[in-house]
Every structure is written in structure tokens, then in C-alpha cells.
Amino acid sequence: MAAELIRASLLSFSAPPAEGVAEAVQHTEDGVLAMRDGRIEFAASSAAFVAQGGPLDACEDLRPGIALPGFIDAHVHFPQVDIIGSFGTQLLDWLERYAFPAETAFADADFAAAQAERFMDLCFAHGTTSALVFTTVHAAATEALFRAALGRGARLIAGKVHADRNVPKELADSADAVAGCARLIERWHGAGRLSYAVTPRFAIASSPAQLSAAGALLQRYPEVLLHTHLSENAAEIALTRKLFPAARDYVDVYDCHGLVGERSVFAHGVHLTERELERLAERGATVVFCPSSNLFLGSGLLDVAKLQRHGVRLAVGSDVGAGTSLSMLKTLADGYRVGQLQGTSWHPLDAFHAITLGNAQALALGDRIGRLAPGYEADVVVLNARRNPALSRRLERVDTLQERLFAYMMLGDERDIERTYVGGRLAWRQAGAN
């Protein structure tokens, strides 16, 4: 297959910029990206491309666009995209009033299939090429999402949701249903670029028997992820303590059932205690910072610096539909605000590392996605601010890469996603783009 060649400003990371590793930030103002057979074949300066005999005039010129690794959303709910921005509640009431009714509709397999296709389109339009996704309790809806992602050649991780108490009966399964997911794992984990995540909704919604079944499933399939919620909201934590009186704390509820390990991904973690942070760090588990959701539901401000001091692995997620946008740029803007309220300013280089290589590593995919480097899978987003007047004007006044990225981080949104490539193929372009 002929290579797809684009010329743009290239930005990628090989390590967290804050750690001061040499070459952590790889930026080329005038670069060429060659994609062939789903992978990146070349990513360096146009001068280097010409020097090795590359045909510069065969490149599609997307300058002054910035090409980055496709964004990765480490926590998002696909059945909730139509309830973004629902008024007036905090977590537990929001679930009852908005999320549960929305998810109940996914019992209709045709509806779920249409929504799955739409969700994938929306992700690409927002520059997101990979995500760790909550589906619903319905196996058919989960399979619909896998099918939609497979059809697009996307790298996606998802799993059927488990809940056997404290949810409407239409959204409940059973402890036995967890073991039944072996069928889904065997069918979808490793199909195309898909992976499976065992997905109990949260401690409140699962009996001890169901959490034990989830732990047993992870033992049987150690290569799959565990994806759930943790320590998001005060009322949720209080109810969890009541339901699991023998557990030391919220982390211990999951720990006692074999659910805390290096492939465990916990959304939120806003109110974790010192002991919980130590335990998560010791086990190598990941906490997903979901700033948009935490602000919208009033859940609290995650102290990212404190988690970093404890050595807890971090990822970043939109948490749509409690988060208010699928845009990882807008998610970063909210993350910056959460930091500011606690006296820290999230450096834009670290922020863009977080939604590319950082999230890839948190999802155990750091050797495949998250970088513009030869051999990596060719998931790429190209940013261009021409449809965003406020950002365009701001960019006229910036001098450094840091300032430019910060402008995108604070003023950017889906209008600025000029192109999205998935597995080396054009998956989204702005109408009217060149």
C-alpha cells in the first residue's frame, strides 16, 4: 500500500517532560510523517526526509497544523453521550435521574448499534483515536461497540458493565454473569486492535460475590484490564463504607477481591487517604483524573501533585457524560483549572504528554500507541485553529511551543481537529479543510 505522507509541525513525547529526560519532547516545526500499512514509517524533519530521498512534493502540506499522536481518553461512557450537561445533581442522584435511564435504552440492540457507530464518529471528530470505555450491562451493546471499533480499525478497550445491586433491575446482572464474560473476552480481546476490560460499575453496585467473580475472571485472563470507579464523591464513599463494613477503606474493598493490580484503572480517586494512595502505588494501579466531570458534578478537586508524590500512576479521562465534552483539549483546560485552585499550574507539555503517551502507558499500550515514531501504530491528530477565531488570534501572539500548546489547551476544542488518522487511514477531516 502507498504511504500516506503529510507535512506539518510534529510533536510527540518519549517520556514525561517534567522528569527532565533528554529528548523527552520531540518537536519538529517543519516535519514529514509517513504512514504505511497502519504504522508510522517516518517521523522527522522535512530536511531529513529529503536527505534520504523522500519526495517532498508528494506530501500533503498541512502546515501550520500540528500533528500529534491521536488523543487517548482513559475513561468515558459510550451510552452517556446524549446526557452531557444534565442539570442540578451530584453523583448518586445524577446516576438515578439521568445515567440509568439513558443506559436502559441500550437493551435495544439496534439502538445500541447505531449509538456505537455514532460514538466512534464523535471520538474521531474530537481527535480521540483510542479510549477505555464503559458500555452498559448489555452484552449486545458491548459487542456493538467492539464491532463499530473493529470496522474502523480503532484501538479500543471496553467491557460489559457488571452490577447486581443498587441499580434499576433493567441494569442488573448477577455474580454468574461475570464468569459468562469469558465468552466476550475470547471473542473480542485481541480481535483487530481491541482489548477487553472487566468492568464492575463501582463497589456500591456489586455484591461481594460479584466482585469476587470479577477477581476470578482477572486471574483467568491476566492480560485484560480492570476498569471501575473509585472514591469520587463523599456520599458514594459513605455508602461504600456502609456496604463493606469489614473493609479498611474504599481501595481495600477492591483489594480484598483481587481487583487492585498494575492493570487496574480506577476513575476519579478524588478523596483517597494516605493509606489508599500508598496501596495503589505499591500495586502499580492507575487513577484517572477526570477534571471536567469532577467540576460538573461537584465531586471535588483531585490533588494530582499529591498522587504524584505518592508515586501513583495517573491517566486523564473525559468521563462523558458527567464530563461535559469528549474533547481532550477541553478536558486539559478543566485539569488546569483544578490545579490552579490548588496552587499548581499544569504545564502544557506535561498535559499533552498525559493525553498521548501517558495515557497509552497507563493502559498498557505504550509500546504501540501514543508516539509519532517509526513502528508505532499510525493514530494521528492534526490540529489547526483556523475555525476558532479566539484561538487563532491568540496564536498570533505566542512565541514558544509552550505558549502555543497552552493556547490550544485553554482555548481549543473540536473545531481545531483538522484531521484524524486511525491506523494510517484518514478517519475524520473538517468540512472545507484542504
> Rule CB under 5 A: which residues touch Zn ion?
267, 319
Taking the least distance from each CB to Zn ion, the nearer of 158 and 267 is 267
Q: At its nearest, how many Å lie between Zn ion and the CB of residue 75?
A: 6
CB neighbour list of residue 17: distance below 8 Å, 6 or more residues apart: 24, 25, 347, 349, 350, 353
Buried b (16+ CB within 10 A) or exposed e, 208-233: bebbbbbbbbbeebeebbbbbbbbbb
Pairing outcome for strands 161-162 and 155-159: unpaired
Taking the least distance from each CB to Zn ion, the nearer of 40 and 76 is 76
C-alpha distances out from residue 390 to 66, 246, 419, Å:
18, 54, 20
* Cβ count within 10 A of residue 20: 8
Taking the least distance from each CB to Zn ion, the nearer of 202 and 428 is 202
User: Residue 197 is placed in which grid cell?
Assistant: 476490560
Backbone φ and ψ of 381, nearest 5°: -120, 140
Q: At its nearest, how many Å lie between Zn ion and the CB of residue 362?
A: 15
How long is the chain? Answer: 434
Q: At its nearest, how many Å lie between Zn ion and the CB of residue 201?
A: 9
Q: At its nearest, how many Å lie between Zn ion and the CB of residue 194?
A: 20
Q: At its nearest, how many Å lie between Zn ion and the CB of residue 381?
A: 23
CB neighbour list of residue 3: distance below 8 Å, 6 or more residues apart: 34, 35, 36, 41
With vertex at residue 134, the alpha carbon angle to CA 266 and CA 270, rounded to the nearest 5 degrees, is 30
Taking the least distance from each CB to Zn ion, the nearer of 35 and 328 is 328
Contact by Cβ (8 Å): 340, 330:
no
- Distance, in Å, from the CA atom of 73 to the CA atom of 133, rounded to the nearest integer, reads 8
Taking the least distance from each CB to Zn ion, the nearer of 211 and 320 is 320
Contact by Cβ (8 Å): 105, 306:
no
- Distance, in Å, from the CA atom of 128 to the CA atom of 275, rounded to the nearest integer, reads 34
Taking the least distance from each CB to Zn ion, the nearer of 267 and 382 is 267
Taking the least distance from each CB to Zn ion, the nearer of 71 and 94 is 94
Q: At its nearest, how many Å lie between Zn ion and the CB of residue 409?
A: 22
Taking the least distance from each CB to Zn ion, the nearer of 267 and 355 is 267
Angle between helices 401-411 and 328-340 in degrees, nearest 10? 100
Q: At its nearest, how many Å lie between Zn ion and the CB of residue 243?
A: 19
Taking the least distance from each CB to Zn ion, the nearer of 320 and 422 is 320
Q: At its nearest, how many Å lie between Zn ion and the CB of residue 159?
A: 13
Q: At its nearest, how many Å lie between Zn ion and the CB of residue 205?
A: 12
DSSP 408: H
